[in-house]
Amino acid sequence: MKHETLTFLQRCMSVEPSPDEVARFEKTLLQWQHANIPGMQRFLGPRLGNSDILLRPVPAPLFSRFEFCAGPPTVRFRTSGTTTGVRGVHSLPDTEAYDLSIRAGVDRLPLSLPLQHTLTLCPHATEFPDSSLAHMIQVLCPDAVPGFSKSGGVNLKLCWDHLKETKEALFLPATALSLATLLETGDHCDLPRGSVVMITGGYKGQHRSIPETGLHQATQKQLGANLFIIREYGMTELSSQLWDWGEGYRAPPWLRVFTKHTDSAGIGQLCFVDLANWGSCMAVETHDLGRVQGDLVELHGRIPGMQARGCSLVAEEAEQ
């Protein structure tokens, strides 16, 4: 199944698959996961209906207690280790499809990321080997300069020195709360044309929340008007990401987004079918709210009353 998945993803990079093709692959993968991943069979029951996974995606909190993995895992990504929450674990037989999905997702962006010159305000893989966000940055830009550490949070001096000295277009991936911390110093610079700031993670931490529009305006004001801001949405339990380059979040064709319990305004509980999760769990139900309109996805925050999670909380904890 791994080989078939890699082939499917590679084909998606050159040819947009038809909805029928995607649906056929979903069905094949569902049957395979039901037969080969014990956790999936336990969740879905002994007999598999045609559309079971669409009606019953696996709730993300189950990842904190049960393993969904084809064979012994070689990698375990964990959700943010907040002081209050139990960590969810996404176990994988390997990261080949995961890594391909990351690269293929970035290749689909209508702009080129200057990955060879990266300063990262995200958790770094050396300090956070079980962070899926750190892994993504590591896959995209292995030589990234770490501007964030577990012990000190955002290294403000290092970051501002780096930002002011850079002569080439820069890629600055950051969690929303880390970026806010950087900008709160009031310092500024003018990043070279072609620079890209990637914002990920929630805008609400456990101790503070920041207005999204205000953060974007401050970024343009303090880092230069020539840069481009893109937003990324990912979660530990998925191998694929949504990207927003100014029009709204878009998912790649191998990541289907739908909502459950959708209200009259079209807003409901976000669910994903991620075909790159071939060796774990292809369908995941989140505690996030969203609206799916055509190929655009709007994010509407957490379901009221549900606990916050996400990589921004790591940044917040490091600052405490």
Partner 1 sequence: MNVEAVLEAVEHWARMDGNDWQTGLSPENVRLGQQLAAEAIQNGAFRPLPDAPRHLVIWCASNVFTAPLEWVAQFAAAGSRITLKAPSNCPAPVFAMAEAFSSFEVQAHRAPHDKALSLLEDADAVLGFGSNQAMNVLEAHLRPETARSLHGSRASLAIVEANTIEKVAEGLYLDASAYDSRGCMSPIAVFCLGDAHALKRALFDQWATQDALPLGALSLAEQAHRSRRIGTAKMLHPSNHHAGHRDPREIVVPVEDFESFGLPRLLPIHPIDSLDQLDFLQGGPWSSCATNLPHEALQDFGFHRICQPGQLQRPPLNRLHDGVDVLERLCAKPT
Residues making contact with partner 1 (CB under 8 A): 39, 42-43, 45-47, 55-56, 58-59, 61-62, 65-66, 260-261, 268-269, 285, 287, 289, 303-306
Between 40 and 140, name the residue whose CB sits nearer to partner 1: 40
Between 49 and 211, name the residue whose CB sits nearer to partner 1: 49
- Residues with Cβ within 8 Å of 266's Cβ and at least 6 positions away in sequence, in order, are 259, 291, 292, 293
Residue 110, both tokens: 């209508």
CB of 129: closest distance to partner 1 in angstroms? 27
CB of 257: closest distance to partner 1 in angstroms? 17
Between 62 and 296, name the residue whose CB sits nearer to partner 1: 62
CB of 41: closest distance to partner 1 in angstroms? 10
Q: Give, for 139, the enclosing helix (H) or strand (E).
A: helix 132-140
* CB 205, CB 316: distance < 8 Å: yes
Read off the amino acid at residue 285: E
CB of 44: closest distance to partner 1 in angstroms? 8
Residue 172, both tokens: 């600055």
Q: Give, for 11, the enclosing helix (H) or strand (E).
A: helix 2-14
Between 43 and 148, name the residue whose CB sits nearer to partner 1: 43
CA angle 238, 30, 282 (to 5 degrees): 5
Between 22 and 37, name the residue whose CB sits nearer to partner 1: 37
The 3-class secondary structure across 244-304, one letter per residue, is ECCCCEECCCCEEEEEECCCCCCEEEEEEEECCCCCCCCEEEEEEEEEEECCEEEEEEECC
CB of 259: closest distance to partner 1 in angstroms? 10
Is residue 100 classed as helix, strand or coil in its secondary structure?
helix
DSSP state of 105: H
Report CA-CA distances (Å) from 97 to 53, 255, 263.
Answer: 21, 13, 35
CB of 284: closest distance to partner 1 in angstroms? 11
**C-alpha 294, offset from chain centre:** 20
Between 89 and 314, name the residue whose CB sits nearer to partner 1: 89
Is residue 91 classed as helix, strand or coil in its secondary structure?
strand
Between 35 and 111, name the residue whose CB sits nearer to partner 1: 35
Rounded to whole angstroms, the Cα distance separating 102 from 77 reads 15
CB of 302: closest distance to partner 1 in angstroms? 10
Between 147 and 290, name the residue whose CB sits nearer to partner 1: 290
CB of 287: closest distance to partner 1 in angstroms? 5
